[in-house]
Amino acid sequence: MYELEVRRVFAAAHQLREHGGSCERIHGHNWEVYLRLCGSQLNPLGLLVDFREVQAALDAAIGELDHSFLNEVPPFHEINPSCEHIARHIFRRCKHEIETPDNGDLRVGSVKIFESEGCSITYSEPDQIQES
């Protein structure tokens, strides 16, 4: 099994609704995002996948978030823009872009986000067993 990881950073502000603490006030972060992919099949060039393809998928997922007030960006206009929800959102956006029939068994393994130095969350989904 191979694991590939790319890193990107984006800046955005948010406020955690009904938090009851200082995080309920508008504040910003430089979010550091790590997208990890897993797979066992290499393409004819000997690559799991081209890094540029992975970077493009991650750039698209965070592009709508970068330099924004997350509370106004769907789906965070309805759910709290917590680090946990942001990680799940990026995971699912990248999964949709990357997990295609052309990419063999390539799967999004996890998304890890650092909200600040030393504070991170990792989101992954269990492998789903498909019934015939």
Choose among 68, 37, 40, 67: nearest CA to 53.
Answer: 37
Structure tokens at 87: 């990680």
Q: Would you say the C-alpha torsion 47, 51, 92, 30 has a positive or negative sign?
A: positive
Task: For domain 2-123, give its CATH number from 3.40.50.300, 1.10.490.20, 2.40.50.100, 3.30.479.10.
Answer: 3.30.479.10
Q: What is the mean pLDDT of the chain?
A: 92
Domain boundaries of the chain, sorted by first residue: 2-123
Which of 53-57, 82-86, 100-104, 125-129 is predicted with the least confidence, judged by mean pLDDT? 125-129
Q: What Å distances lie between residue 52 and 4, 92, 97, CA to CA? A: 12, 19, 13
32 burial (CB, 10 Å; 0-12 / 13-18 / 19+) is middle
Per-residue pLDDT reduced to its tens digit, 13-26 = 999 998 888 888 89
Structure tokens at 129: 């067993």
Structure tokens at 38: 């897993």
pLDDT of residue 129: 40
0.85 surpassed by pTM: yes
Q: Would you say the C-alpha torsion 115, 31, 27, 15 has a positive or negative sign?
A: negative
Per-residue pLDDT reduced to its tens digit, 45-55 = 999 999 999 99
Average pLDDT over residues 100-109: 90
67 burial (CB, 10 Å; 0-12 / 13-18 / 19+) is exposed
Percentage of the chain with pLDDT > 90? Answer: 81
- Residue 41 pLDDT greater than 50, yes or no: yes
Per-residue pLDDT reduced to its tens digit, 65-90 = 999 999 999 999 999 999 999 999 99
